[in-house]
Structure 1
Amino acid sequence: MASYHLETYGCTANRGESRTIERRLRDGGHHPVDGPKAADVAILNTCTVVETTETNMLRRARELESETADLVVTGCMALAQGEEFADLDATVCGWDEVPEVVLNGECPTVTPGTEPILDGVIGILPIARGCMSDCSYCITKHATGKIDSPPVEENVEKARALVHAGAKEIRITGQDTGVYGWDDGERKLHELLNRICAIDGDFRVRVGMANPKGVHGIREELAEVFAENEKLYNFLHAPVQSGSDDVLGEMRRQHQVREFREVVKTFDDHLDHWTLATDFITGFPTESDADHEESMELLRETQPERINVTRFSKRPGTDAADMKGLGGTIKKERSKAMSDLKMDVVGAAYESMVGERHEVLVVEPGTGESVKCYDEAYRQIIIQDAPEHGVAPGDFVEVEITSQNTVYAFGEPV
């Protein structure tokens, strides 16, 4: 797990975003340290109110770049003027993307145990611990071990308790949800989801990260469960990590690109409006120019609406840490190229929604008087001036999509 140093500048809203980032990092098993020099990664949450502030942000970013192994720049300046950080060896991203970037493509540890957590109207339900993978770059497996799946009925009861406690959104989490039940000889994620969706109440269910190999063997059953249950967000997070089978082999990812494509096609066949989320690691030590282009082509072909792009960085104690790495310039160029393509793909997905009507679940407060919501495909919709519209976390609201801002849309209640 990574150690991190987080610095926050600007308004109360920015500080709130940092608290959310820290909560997700701690839930992922990461821990804060005293100062950037002791950290695996430094996170700079920026402000961009006036020119002097911008100058200070750039200066501080350069200082942090020289003091830590990896730098992540987020916040208002990163979103509005990300090009200002182009000469830095840093990952520039939105607030919501920071935890995934810090994970470095590894399986999330998610929570200290497998007990459910209620956070506002969000119920977090870890369904198992561990995974069946042996990725060459991942340090998490040393902490979590192989998959250990509690019985379906036990997880259903935990989900029912969350609903009775007021959860409106249940987030199914785990290091690899797709292999739930594999330790008992049979993958049971589709069975578990069916059972949870049968619980009485008005709520939605989001399935957390599931590696392509685990999903591939139950792709038909899983897609049918999604199609049959309105409570399930039509959302699948299947991290492919590379479009090159050669690189996937060196990563020991277990799946091949063909299997990822087959998973995507199966969900395309069963669902009209759904969101594919995936991850790519750029600059893996054995990645050639041709390998990188295969990843770019896979992104263009599959058009995921959520994409986490991570520059490879070595984790101590992993096999990949002993490989001769690529230069920082190469990794930076490939990361930028993929990040630029990502913004085009994601922006197009949200732009296509403008003018449509969707039922959304209000999940949590946003900036100022706005609220964050998710539609049936787990696409993020912002409702501004929420008190004026009388909406609050936990409400289901029909909205018309009025505009978009690349990685989310704005909705007006109707």
Structure 2
Amino acid sequence: MATYHIETYGCTSNRGESREIERRLRDGGHRPADGPTEADVAILNTCTVVEKTERNMLRRAEELADGTADLIVTGCMALAQGEQFREAGLDARVLHWEDVPTAVLNGECPTPAADTEPILDGEVGILPIARGCMSNCSYCITKFATGRIDSPPVAENVEKARALVHAGASEIRITGQDTGVYGWDTGDRKLPELLDRVCDIDGEFRVRVGMANPGGVHGIREELAETFARNEELYNFIHLPVQSGSDDVLSDMRRQHRVDEFLDIVETFDERLGHWTLSTDFIVGFPTETDHDHAQSMALLREVRPEKVNVTRFSKRPGTDAADMKGLGGTVKKERSKEMSAAKREIVGAAYESMVGERHEVLVVEEGTGDSVKCRDGAYRQIIVQQASERGVEPGDFLEVEVSGQNTMYAFGDPV
């Protein structure tokens, strides 16, 4: 589990982006540090409105780089003038804000702390259902902190979910290092049972299932897909991190699945659900990844066309087996990441563009930037409603919207 420190400069939009970064880090089990010197990673969200501001950003980046194990620079100056940070000789990663959480997670499992209790964050109730995993990935440092899966009883997690609903949660986010192996330590695969029982709780709410590795889901794919199909409370959304389209690389990563098993899961959900969102992750530039391996990953991405994709450049984590491998050059990783990220934007943008003109029932989950709110439809796709206060729309509302436009990573909707 990483600790983070985030600093934000500039406009309301930057503050909104930092809030989203922080939310995704918390969903992954990461926690804020008391200050930059106590953090595993510092995140500087920059502004570039005037020359003086640029000088201040560079100076602050230098200060953070001197006192922090890892520095990530994002925001307006990072995107418009990222070369200035490199020319200053800073040991920092310059990233788009959407890529920051994925970079911090580094392709690893999320890591709720041992004493993590359910958290209510506005309309969102965060429910960690277990700690640990059944994997032994060669690149992952998380396993040293969490160990093997430790699953509380189903009844205990159901009571925690009920408490979140009674406290006002409209959305429950079920999290864990690997939700798909919940119950394996007790000799049973219990995720479908848990989801059924959570959905039976009295109240009007939605449930999002967090990351589930393909190796754990493959054996329960049919039962799990049926669980999604019969419970309207469940978002038709599943996060299955494939990490590579090459079986050779997956073997070197010590992932517990192969590409055909990942495709089996996708096919099963395609058969059971009218529309659903596949979220997946790719690590590019793993030390043993060849040009052919990367081409296989690109082919897999274009074949399954996931509507949410996290692309991470491989980075070595101390104490892991992959850290001892001879790495690829930074230029190779950068170019492969650039190619995959471009394909991701095309695929995701096309998915949101196809929604224009459709009507969807949505849950308003949280406030957005300015006078807007963020909503989720039944497949967990993000739809933004603007002029929310004028329209009397606020978090917790269920409403029907007509999709009026899109902006690559989300859609815009008007209340019907």
In the TM superposition, residue 17 of structure 1 has moved relative to its aligned partner by 3.6
- Report the CA distance between 1:34 and its aligned residue: 5.3
Deviation of the 1:155 alpha carbon: 1.1
Determine whether 1:243 maps to 2:248: no
Partner SS, residue 263 of structure 1: helix
The change in CA–CA distance for 1:62 and 1:120 in structure 2 (over 3 A counts) is closer
Offset at residue 70 of structure 1 (A):
5.7
Cα shift readout 1:133-188 (whole Å, capped 9, x = no counterpart): 00111111111111111111111111111111111101010000000111111111
Q: C-alpha distance in 2, partners of 1:300/1:19? A: 31
Report the Cα distance in structure 1 between the residues aligned to 2:77 and 2:401, rounded to whole angstroms: 29
Unmatched 5+ stretches in structure 2: 87-91
Aligned to 1:391: 393
Q: Does 1:92 align with 2:60?
A: no
Distance 1:172 1:305, change over 3 A: same
Per-residue Cα deviation, 1:221-261 (whole angstroms, up to 9, x for no partner): 11111111111000000000111111111111111011001
Q: Match of 2:149?
A: 147
Instruction: Decide whether aligned partners of structure 1 residues 284 and 205 sit closer, same or farther in structure 2, where only a CA change above 3 A counts.
Output: same
State whether residues 114 and 131 of structure 2, in contact with CA within 8 Å, keep that contact through their aligned partners in structure 1. Answer: no
Structure 2 match to 1:170: 172
Q: How does 1:47-196 map to 2 (within 5 A)?
A: 47=47, 50=49, 52=51, 72-76=72-76, 82=79, 85=82, 90=93, 92-95=95-98, 97-196=99-198
Q: Aligned-pair distance for 1:116?
A: 1.2
User: In the alignment, does 2:9 pair up with 1:9?
Assistant: yes
Using a 3 Å threshold, how does the CA distance of structure 1 residues 111 and 385 change in structure 2: closer, same or farther? farther
How far has the Cα of 1:66 moved from its partner?
A: 7.5
Give 1:9 shift.
1.5
Q: Name 1:323's counterpart in structure 2.
A: 325
Deviates most, 191-200 or 209-218: 191-200
Match of 2:199 in 1: 197
Which one of the candidate residues 379, 384, 389 is aligned to 1:377? 379
- Give the match for residue 359 of structure 1: 361
Q: C-alpha deviations, 1:318-359, integer Å up to 9, x for none? A: 111111111111111111111111111111111111111101
Task: Tell me what 2:45 maps to.
Answer: 45
1:110 positional shift: 3.3
Aligned to 2:30: 29
Q: Distance in 2 between matches of 1:293 and 1:53?
A: 44
Q: How many angstroms does 1:13 deviate by? A: 4.4
CA contact under 8 A between 1:14 and 1:45: conserved in structure 2? yes
Paired residues, number: 408
Moved more, 15-24 or 203-212: 15-24
Equivalence for 1:229: 231
1:270 is matched with which residue: 264, 269, 272?
272
Which piece of structure 1 moves more, 39-48 or 188-197?
Answer: 39-48
Asked if structure 1 preserves the Cα contact closer than 8 Å seen for 2:179 and 2:191, the reply is yes
- Identical aligned pairs, as a percentage? 72
Paired with 2:139 and 2:399, the residues of 1 have a C-alpha distance of 42
CA contact (8 A) 1:47 1:53 kept: no
Alpha-carbon displacement from aligned partner over 1:252-274 (angstroms, at most 9, x marks no partner): 11110110011111111111221
* 2: CA distance, partners of 1:52 / 1:352: 41
Aligned partners of 1:53 and 1:390: how far apart in 2?
41
Kindly indicate whether the alpha-carbon contact (under 8 Å) linking 2:309 and 2:344 is maintained by their aligned counterparts in 1.
yes
Q: CA deviation at 1:72?
A: 3.8
Q: What residue identity is the alignment partner of 1:14?
A: N
CA–CA distance in structure 1, aligned partners of residues 64 and 288 of structure 2: 25
Q: 8 Å contact 1:29–1:112 — kept in the other structure? A: no
Classify the secondary structure of the residue corresponding to 1:388.
coil
For 1:57 and 1:304, how far apart are their aligned partners in 2? 40
Matched to 1:92, the amino acid is: L
* SS of 2:278 mapped into structure 1: strand
- Measure the CA separation in 1 of the matches of 2:311 and 2:393: 34
Q: Which residue of 2 aligns with 1:287?
A: 289
One-letter amino acid of the structure 1 residue matched with residue 231 of structure 2:
N
User: 1:306 is matched by which residue type in structure 2?
Assistant: K
Instruction: Tell me: CA distance 1:57–1:336, structure 2 relative to 1, closer, same or farther (3 Å).
Output: farther
Partner of 2:89: none
Distance 1:24 1:354, change over 3 A: closer
Name the CA shift for 1:64/1:83 in 2 (closer, same or farther; >3 Å).
farther
Letter in structure 2 aligned against 1:29 = H
> 1:282–1:292: 8 Å Cα contact kept in structure 2?
yes
1:334 corresponds to which of 336, 343, 347: 336
Displacement after TM superposition at 1:94 (Å): 3.5
Any idea what SS the aligned residue of 2:378 has? coil
- Return the letter of the residue paired with 1:328: G
- CA apart distance, 1:60: 6.7
TM-score (norm 1): 0.91
Residues 130 and 176 in structure 1, CA contact (< 8 A), matched pair in contact too: yes
Q: Which amino acid aligns with 2:11?
A: C
Amino acid corresponding to residue 243 of structure 1 in structure 2:
G
TM-score, normalised to structure 2's length? 0.90
Structure 1 unmatched ranges of 5 or more: none
Q: Distance in 2 between matches of 1:171 and 1:262?
A: 25
SS in 1 for 2:217: helix
Does the 8 Å contact 2:245/2:297 carry over to 1? Answer: yes
- CA–CA separation in structure 1 for the residues paired with 2:106 and 2:154: 30
